Structure 1
Amino acid sequence: MAVSTPVCDFGARMPAFALPDPDGNVHSSDEIRGANGTLVMFICNHCPYVQAVIDRIVRDASELAREHGIGVVAISSNDVEEYPQDGPEHMRREAERHGFTFPYLYDESQAVARAFGAECTPDFFGYNAAGELQYRGRLDASGRQPGPPDAPRELFQAMVQIARTGEGPRDQVPSMGCSIKWKDETPGD
């Protein structure tokens, strides 16, 4: 089932978290924060919306971290009992295959996804250096299929603006993707 994210709640504080990567190394929100902001992405391995843009996500995340002082993390919160392909071993392979330059963390309890109010994969949360939410939009015009190669890099441009000014764009197009697979809900797509 396709789900869209809600409108950005400007100024909402970034929830604190500490989650393991597939190798069991715990990463905290404090260590992930960048000097100029933080990008928290809820993704998973099986979602066609994520797969359509995963290489663009990696490209933008790498450039944001390297050139703009943005800390970046990806979190998978899906129920792995119903969706085993989203489990830690598969996460490790996915990160290696696509060359993730950021931690890919496993939210087994789903408490972190609930604290953020994550709705779908991909779901992007862009925070300024003070940890205030400034972006809750899409990566670009892609959907279940990649958008055109020259599609405006909406998330990237928003995060660059946040790094420079501390404020995100007021006009944001919601992200759309597969619903997060909650443990207490009936399996969907």
Structure 2
Amino acid sequence: MNITYLLIPVLIGLICGIAGYYIGKMNSKKDDSLSASLQSDLDVCYANTKNLHNRIKALETDLAFKTKTHYLSHKHFVLFDSETATTVMGRKIKENDMKIIEGIGIKIESLFRHSGITTWHELSEASSEKIQSVLDAGGENYAIHNPITWPKQAFLAYQGKWKELKDLQENMLSGKE
């Protein structure tokens, strides 16, 4: 028996084994990068889903609050008590002063007054779309504000619930509950 006949198949098998090993290794790297890419896409989807759930919750809260506000606003009229407001809030409060609402300053108050929203009661009943359109009309410096809690704060001020308003504002972070 000639050794060449035995050596050639062994060498060919060894070369094919090494080549197969490296080809498999290269394919597994492609799978790892694909897996990492899919995982990052999945993480983005989870983050978007979480944001959407938070937005839905905020809208549901806003809707429930608007429904309650509409019912209560037609139920009775509330008189403004300046002394209680000043005592609880720690500064002099004038009736329908929009600046007591977290996130509203002199310029935004002026935008509201020019658009016909002049009282806490009117602000508490304004839709989110109406409030955002007033801000958008003021320019891009105002459009960035998040007015989601403004109707609720305005309603508490209108109702004379100063302690609840102060507690709400103290627990807010960047205008959000």
Shared topology, TM-score over 0.5?
A: no
Structure with more of its chain in helix, by fraction: 2
Length-normalised TM-score, structure 2 = 0.28
Higher relative contact order (CA 8 A, sep 6+): 1
Structure with more of its chain in strand, by fraction: 1
